[in-house]
Structure formats: structure tokens, C-alpha cells
Structure 1
Amino acid sequence: MKFQYTYQKEAPQAIKYYVQELGLSRGLLARIKFQGGKITVNDKEENVLYLLQKGDVLELTFPREESCDHLTLDPTPLDICFEDEHFLIIHKPAGVPSIPVRRYPEGTMVNRVKNYYFTQGYENQQVHVVTRLDKDTSGLMLLAKHSFAHAKMDVCLREKTLKKQYIAFVEDQNQVLKEHDWIKASIRRKANSTVERETCTEGGQTALTEYKRWFVHPKVSGVKVQLHTGRTHQIRVHFSSLGCPLLGDTLYGGTADFPRQALHCQSLRFIHPFTEKEIEITAPLPQDMQQFLEQQNIKID
């Protein structure tokens, strides 16, 4: 894969420093240098110490990215919401892990994406997960199709310019949730548990969740949630700390009135780092959440 840039600065600058401004890490630059890539200026190969002059055309050629041999192929079709040469956004169903782990070594979304890349014959076969979801959470996942795109999105994550909105159904028997509010409570791993988290006053990671109430129904509220930090189980832990666990989230005090935690990543929004256009993708509520609304006769305007 090739990327071309025209140097516009008046003062000369070494390639190694200019590409850092483009978002190229030292590791990616090393891959270009030592793993089959190429750096050219005005169609002539140069090293990273070369001083760029105004008007120079810099071309970066990245080496091919091979797939991980230990990942198996899963031919289950993907629900693709957006794709270009840099990114892939897919709709993950509930019940499917995002990535392989010891408990789920195969049958994950990554296995499905690997098979998709293989059948499409893409130059880059490595799967780069930018945003993942818990196994029983449905909704949008963002993947980068090459290392440079992954590095660019890591910057977006750090700068909090990648916006994700979730829909959650929470138990709210006492109607404690406000129309619009923030939940600010640090989160840490619960003692003697490798999975469960809890809020805390010291020793945890800062976490901030914003929500707007979407609907109110006896014992249940629907909320639209915006994460301002990305802690493990953040939405689930924060609403549980208010006495409003997600429907079906038995790990955090929810009842079993729903077959899973009622949580869905509904939208992703970001400025495309290569085209500079805004990308906003939405995913409809999954069938189980739609059925719940119908069964409870909840009508949303």
C-alpha cells in the first residue's frame, strides 16, 4: 500500500521527523525500512535522514501485512455497514466474542473478518481491531485494514474524537435517572475476580459516562449513552452503581428478564484521517431489543 504527500513547508525537514507529524510511529517506520517497504522522494529512493524541500513528493510504500497463522477461518457472513480501503465497520450480533481469548479461541468476529479478507484477496491480511464489544453486546465494531490506519485511529481514541453512542435498557423501578446526566466514578477490578469490575473512591481508573433518557416505562428506562472514557464494562458498572443495572446483566445485579445485557452500540462517528470527511454510521436495534419494546408496548417517537 502506498501513500503520497507533497511537502509544503518553506524550511527543509528530515523525512523521519515529517512522517511523525503524519502519524507514523517509529515502529511503522521501522517496518517500512526493514520489512520490504520503500521511501521515495520524487521517484528516487531515499533514507529517513533526507531533507525534504518544498514541493518534494514523498511516497511511502508499506510492506504487505500477513495474517496470523493461529487464527482459524470462520465463513459466517459479515454484516458490513461501511468499508473503504482503510476501514471496515461491521454489525456484531450479541453472543459472538469480538476477539479470540482462551475461553473462545475461535468463532469470533476476528475469525470472520480474517475469512472475509482471505476470500476478498486483500493485499493486507492482518486484522486490526480498533473498537471491540463485550460478547453479549451487539452493535458496531470498527476495524482498520492496515497498520497506518490503526495508528491514525489510536490517535483519534486518545484525543477522544471517535464518538460512540450506545442504547441500553436499564432497571429503573424508582425512576432515579435524570433526563440528562453524567456518571463520574472511578472503576477498578473487583478483588478475587478476573472479570468483574466495581466503582471505587481510590485505586481505580477515572471513568466518565454521559447519558440521556430515551424512554421511561414502569420499572425500565431506555438511555442513550456516550462514553468519555473507555474502561472495561464501564456502562454496565456505572449504571449498576446507581441501582439501575442493565436488563439481563446478572453479573452486575440485573434480573434475568432479558437474555443478555441489553446493550447495543448504535452509532460511530469520526473524521476520516485520510479523506478528512466525517463518517457517521448507525446500526438498528437488534431483534431481541426490538421485540422487548413491542412486548412491553413501548412506543418511541
Structure 2
Amino acid sequence: MLDAPIQISIHDNWDGITAQTLFKDIWQTPKKQLHQWRMEKTVCKNEEIINWLEPLRSGDIITIKINHEQETNVQPNSIPCEILYEDEHLLIVNKPAGLLVHPNHDERNTLANSIAAYLQSKNDQRKVRHIHRLDQNTSGAILYAKHVLSHTILNKMLENRSIQRTYWALADGILTSNGQINKPIGRDRHHPTRRRVSKTGQAAITNYQVLECFPHDQLTFVQCSLATGRTHQIRVHMQALGHPLAGDLLYGGSPRFSRQALHARLLEFTHPFTLERIKVTAPFHDDPPIFDLTRYS
């Protein structure tokens, strides 16, 4: 399984361009990687060594003979793992609240351990890489790359903001209008893990939309989308707005819930190889259910 080739069918949009243009300009393959593949002749078109300057045609099959990097640092652990989307290029997983995304030392109770066990059950021991993270006590959809080329492309897409991430949250207090929070975020020198709004911090932009208000419970159901991806961004920005997330004790939220009421609800992007529009919604699994809105009034 580790030497399984990558296969990509040439889309109509790429008809007539050269392989060199596709790899270098459209997929933005790193020069070192592309040079290695060219020297080793590991890229084929329709089962023949590719001519990099020859025009591609719709329906051509590109094959990259690659030795996938084997996962050696993460021990498999059969923690339940909900797969929301999977193909040979990428993986989207619904992370439960309470799990770290990746072990810091020798932890075995992380999402990475769970995914390693899932892949092992399919006789696949390749190393997958997360494209973005979620805080330990935030739940929802996380995107992973399954090989080096998809990792490069998806990282670029995240940087270019062509991967839309939508979060649902319950904020303390009542917000009455939609808005944008544009405040830089930096480390809090008085606390090892906390972040804060800081003039010298990194640029951070969060757009928020009020979906529903619950005056009796003093809660507002908010949808947030990220134009940047700073650590704790939504949590810090909502605190700065004067409406910290319910359950988020680190940032002044009420102790209403056992964790911050934040869920990565939706991932949406154009698949880099099929050019299909991928739209994945992550269900909730809290018990008791934080996002069961019938609980509030």
C-alpha cells in the first residue's frame, strides 16, 4: 500500500496545457519535488513516461509512482473516528471535543492515533498530515492530505483562503447585528497558552453572523468564518467583542458548559484534482448536546 501510485484524470479545464504548466503553475509543486520526479521518471501519462512539454488531453490519466511516507511516530489507537469524506488524495474527519489533534510527546489518545488505527485497518500505514488544527476542546471537521502533492496544494489553498471554514458557536450575552472583527492576535506574556488582541500580533479577521438569540438564557447562536487562521482566533475575537464563548473559561466565558461552545461545522472547497465542489458538514456529538437549540429559549 505504501507504494500505491497517485492517479489523476485530466479535467476538461486542463485540456491543451502541458504537464509542466499543470505541475508547476497550477498545482505549484515545489521545485525540488518536481525535479526529483522528472529525474526519476516517476510521472507517467497513459502508462508511458510523460513528455512534460506535450499538451495534455481531457481524460488522460496521470500516474505518479510515489513511495508514501510511512507513519512511524504515531501509535495506532482505536478511538472512534468519524470519516466525513475520503478519497485517494484527502481525508476529512469529525474531531470530538476533548481530543488533541496530534500528540505532543508520547500521548496515544489523540485524533492522529485514531486516524492511524483507521488507516491500519485498511492495511494502509501512510503518514497523513493535517492542513489545519482545532483546539483540544473544539469539535468538528479537520482536513488531512494523504500524499505529498495534495499536502502541498491544500496548504496553498488554505493560505490563499480558497478553503472556507465555517464555525458555529454559542456566545455569552445578546448580539444584535452581524459584523467583522479585524484585530491582530499575539501571545499573552502572562499566560503560557492564552492569546490576546495585540497591536504587535499577527493580522486576524473573523466574520460573524447572528443566527439566533436566546434572551432568557443570555446566549447568542453565532456563525463565524475565518479570513485568517490564528491560534484561538474566534475565542480571542469574541472575548474582544465583549461576548466570550459560553464554556470558555480561559477567555472569560460563563461556566455553562464543560468546554467552549465552538464547533467547526462546515468545510467547503474545490477539489484540487477532480475540480468538484466539496462541501462537508460535521454533525454534533456532545452529550448533553450543546448545540441542541431546543434547549434554549
| Bucket of the pairwise TM-score, normalised by the shorter protein | 0.7 to 0.9
Equivalent residue for 2:103, pick from 91, 95, 100: 100
Question: Are 1:260 and 2:264 counterparts?
Answer: no
Partner of 1:183: 181
Q: Secondary structure of 1:52's match?
A: coil
Q: Does the Cα contact within 8 Å between 2:168 and 2:223 map onto a contact in 1?
A: yes
C-alpha change, 1:214 and 1:54, in structure 2 (3 Å) is closer
Equivalent residue for 1:110, pick from 109, 112, 135: 112
What RMSD, in angstroms, separates the aligned Cα atoms of the two structures? 2.8
TM-score of the superposition, structure 1-length normalised?
0.84
Measured in 1, the distance between the counterparts of 2:96 and 2:137 equals: 8
Q: Does the Cα contact within 8 Å between 2:205 and 2:226 map onto a contact in 1?
A: yes
Partner of 2:42: 38
What amino acid does structure 2 have at the position aligned with 1:25?
P
Q: Secondary structure of 2:201's match?
A: coil
Q: Does the Cα contact within 8 Å between 2:257 and 2:290 map onto a contact in 1?
A: no
Measured in 2, the distance between the counterparts of 1:273 and 1:127 equals: 17
Partner of 1:272: 271
Structure 1: which 5+ residue stretches go unaligned? none
Measured in 2, the distance between the counterparts of 1:230 and 1:291 equals: 24
C-alpha change, 1:217 and 1:28, in structure 2 (3 Å) is same
What amino acid does structure 2 have at the position aligned with 1:110?
A
Count of aligned positions: 286
Partner of 1:152: 153
Higher alpha-carbon deviation: 125-134 or 60-69:
60-69
What amino acid does structure 2 have at the position aligned with 1:259?
S
C-alpha change, 1:282 and 1:217, in structure 2 (3 Å) is same
Question: Are 1:21 and 2:25 counterparts?
Answer: yes
Q: Secondary structure of 1:290's match?
A: coil
Q: Secondary structure of 2:192's match?
A: coil
Q: Does the Cα contact within 8 Å between 2:45 and 2:63 map onto a contact in 1?
A: no
Measured in 2, the distance between the counterparts of 1:71 and 1:236 equals: 29
Partner of 2:213: 216
Equivalent residue for 1:86, pick from 89, 94, 97: 89
C-alpha change, 1:38 and 1:197, in structure 2 (3 Å) is same
Measured in 2, the distance between the counterparts of 1:242 and 1:73 equals: 41
| 1:100-249 equivalences in 2 (<5 Å) | 100-102=103-105, 105-122=107-124, 125-172=126-173, 175=174, 177-200=175-198, 202-218=199-215, 219-249=218-248
Q: Secondary structure of 2:223's match?
A: strand
C-alpha change, 1:41 and 1:70, in structure 2 (3 Å) is closer
Displacement of 1:149 in angstroms is 1.3
Greater relative contact order structure (CA < 8 Å, 6+ sep): 2
Q: Secondary structure of 1:254's match?
A: coil
Question: Are 1:290 and 2:289 counterparts?
Answer: yes
Measured in 2, the distance between the counterparts of 1:115 and 1:292 equals: 29
